[in-house]
């Protein structure tokens, strides 16, 4: 069942995290926040969905999961675009092996597309932080993975503000920039905008897809890097 989460405010995260202390422990909580805005047509959206589904079942990604102390991560998928209205497309699912990865991939492929417009990245980060706070799994390693083809526009909570609130609560925000144009409306490459306004936390990084058809390659590389990162330990 898809749902809209309340936008996370800085003081709202800690109680949610405390409430999950009895939850099963995994090596990583990962929210994949995917661009479903009006700039993504049906074919482009399919490329993103297929690229993401293929990435979570890739043998190299599964090897990265298996290399972790507990051999398990938990993943949720968010679609974003409209101000104040990101949607959880796939609820939290554990990935421990090829079978559980295939189940996640199937959920990604079959989830209906939400109606989104504009590029409200800040609201996507806030929504994703709220998902992490309420996750039915527990990990000290928490990552929001924002993928998009444009800059932050019209967010209720600006991207940098939402990013800083997430980082304050131990969440790293990474980004995948789909650079379909040489520069954004702000006169700079999208990767630079994401470096300044979107990413944050220990080891935060931007990976670039040079075109939409490069999305699967970039996402696969990004997942391996995120999953294989040194764990911070379990609280």
Between CA 219 and CA 165 the distance in angstroms is 25
Give the pair of three-digit tokens for residue 41: 């047509």
CA pair distance 178, 30, nearest whole angstrom: 20
Predicted confidence at residue 198, as pLDDT, reads: 97
Maximum Cα–Cα distance for the chain, whole Å? Answer: 48
Residue-level pLDDT at 16: 47
Question: Residue ranges per domain, the chain?
Answer: 31-228
**Mean pLDDT within 214-227:** 92
The predicted structure's pLDDT at residue 10? 43
Residue 123 has pLDDT above 60, yes or no: yes
φ and ψ at residue 200, rounded to 5 degrees: 180, 160
Confidence of residue 117 (pLDDT cuts 50, 70, 90): confident
Residue 3 has pLDDT above 90, yes or no: no
pLDDT digits (tens, 9 = 90+) for 172-209: 999 999 987 766 666 789 999 999 999 999 999 999 99
pTM for the predicted model, two decimal places = 0.88
The Cα angle at residue 194 between residues 193 and 198, in degrees rounded to 5: 120
**Between residues 89 and 3, the one the model is more confident about:** 89
Nearest to 226 by CA among 65, 92, 34: 65
CA dihedral (167, 37, 208, 100) in degrees, to 10, reads 70
DSSP letters for 114-175? P---S--HHHHHHHHHHHHHT-SSB-S-EEEEEEESS---S-SS-HHHHHHHHHHTTEEEEE
Q: Give me the CATH topology for the region 31-228.
A: Rossmann fold (3.40.50)
Model confidence over 4-62: pLDDT tens digits?
444 444 444 544 444 445 789 999 999 999 988 877 778 888 888 899 999 999 999 99
Mean pLDDT (the chain) is 87
């Amino acid at each position: 069942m898809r749902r809209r989460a309340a936008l996370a405010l800085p003081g709202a995260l800690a109680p949610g995290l405390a409430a999950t202390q009895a939850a099963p422990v995994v090596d990583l909580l990962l929210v994949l926040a995917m661009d479903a805005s009006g700039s993504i047509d049906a074919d482009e959206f399919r490329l993103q969905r297929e690229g993401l589904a293929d990435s979570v079942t890739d043998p190299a990604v599964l090897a990265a999961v298996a290399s972790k102390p507990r051999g398990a991560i938990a993943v949720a998928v968010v679609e974003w675009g409209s101000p104040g209205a990101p949607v959880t497309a796939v609820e939290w699912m554990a990935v421990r092996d090829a079978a559980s990865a295939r189940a996640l991939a199937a959920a990604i492929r079959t989830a209906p597309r939400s109606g989104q417009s504009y590029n409200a990245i800040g609201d996507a980060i806030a929504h994703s932080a709220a998902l992490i706070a309420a996750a039915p799994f527990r990990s000290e390693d928490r990552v929001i993975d924002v993928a998009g083809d444009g800059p932050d526009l019209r967010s209720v909570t600006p991207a940098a503000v939402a990013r800083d609130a997430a980082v304050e609560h131990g969440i790293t925000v990474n980004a995948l920039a789909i650079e379909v144009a040489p520069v954004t409306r702000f006169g700079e490459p999208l990767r630079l905008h994401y470096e300044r306004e979107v990413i944050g936390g220990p080891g935060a990084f931007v990976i670039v897809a040079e075109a939409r058809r490069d999305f699967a390659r970039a996402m696969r590389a990004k997942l391996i890097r995120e999953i294989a990162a040194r764990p911070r330990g379990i609280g």
